């Protein structure tokens, strides 16, 4: 039952309230230490620690299900983190605007061809035939002409020595002549042809 009494002024108001009290609903009162009929006796505070009639409690059983659940959660978390890292690296989370890229420059190289021996314009073959032991400007012209075609006759010193003889023999063998190392008329003609003269 609720009642309100007012004295006429807005500040003065009295409230009265009556609540039915029953022993089952009294949450704040001390529990009754007397055993109820038909119920087992409850131990008094601190008695359960000293009494031997109560068996000691065992530790809670190990829960395999909780451990497996925890491991599954950890594995799933690692997998999700890895997946997010891969997706971020792939650019899935970037904005839709295309990234500016540098233009691709492609160059084409000429097809690979075997090196060809071309004559340098300054190479002039000698006008006469020569043999090992000769010296002079004509031998120097021969050495330069052979060098321009890729046959090393050593330094162009104007002396028809063993290096020049080997270079002449190599040239003769490459052009189907007898490779005797002597710069004769057939070798002179082949050298002129090779130099384009």
Q: Alpha-carbon distance 17 to 3, whole Å?
A: 6
Where does residue 65 fall: left (phi above 0), alpha (psi -120 to 50 degrees), or beta otherwise?
A: alpha
3-class DSSP assignment, residue 13: strand
pLDDT in tens, 51-99: 555 565 665 566 667 767 888 889 999 999 999 999 888 888 777 666 6
Q: Is the pLDDT of residue 11 over 60?
A: no
Confidence (pLDDT) at 108: 73
Q: Alpha-carbon distance 174 to 190, whole Å?
A: 10
Confidence (pLDDT) at 162: 92
Mean pLDDT over residues 139-144, rounded? 90
Token couple for 102 = 């540098």
- Rounded to two decimals, what is the model's pTM? 0.39
Top pLDDT among 120 and 194 is at 194
Q: Is the pLDDT of residue 16 over 90?
A: no
Q: Is the Cα torsion angle 40, 44, 46, 47 positive or negative in sign?
A: negative
Mean pLDDT over residues 126-141, rounded? 90
Confidence (pLDDT) at 89: 86
Instruction: Give me the domains of the chain, ranges plus CATH numbers.
Output: 137-195 (1.10.101.10)
Beta strands in 7-146 (DSSP E): 13-17
Nearest in space to 124 (alpha carbons), one of 143, 138, 139, 145: 145
């Amino acid at each position: 039952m609720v009642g309100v009494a007012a004295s006429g002024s807005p500040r003065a108001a009295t409230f009265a309230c009556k609540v039915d009290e029953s022993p089952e609903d009294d949450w704040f009162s001390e529990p009754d230490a007397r055993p109820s009929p038909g119920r087992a006796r409850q131990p008094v505070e601190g008695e359960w620690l000293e009494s031997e009639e109560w068996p000691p409690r065992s530790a809670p059983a190990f829960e395999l299900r909780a451990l497996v659940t925890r491991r599954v959660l950890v594995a799933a978390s690692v997998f999700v983190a890895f997946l997010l890292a891969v997706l971020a690296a792939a650019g899935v989370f970037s904005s839709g605007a295309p990234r500016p890229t540098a233009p691709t420059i492609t160059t084409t190289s000429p097809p690979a061809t075997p090196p060809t021996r071309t004559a340098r314009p300054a190479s002039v073959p000698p006008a006469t035939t020569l043999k090992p032991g000769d010296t002079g400007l004509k031998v120097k012209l021969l050495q330069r002409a052979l060098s321009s075609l890729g046959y090393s006759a050593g330094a162009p010193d104007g002396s028809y020595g063993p290096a020049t003889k080997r270079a002449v023999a190599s040239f003769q063998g490459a052009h189907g002549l007898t490779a005797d190392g002597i710069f004769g008329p057939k070798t002179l003609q082949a050298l002129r042809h090779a130099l384009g003269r």
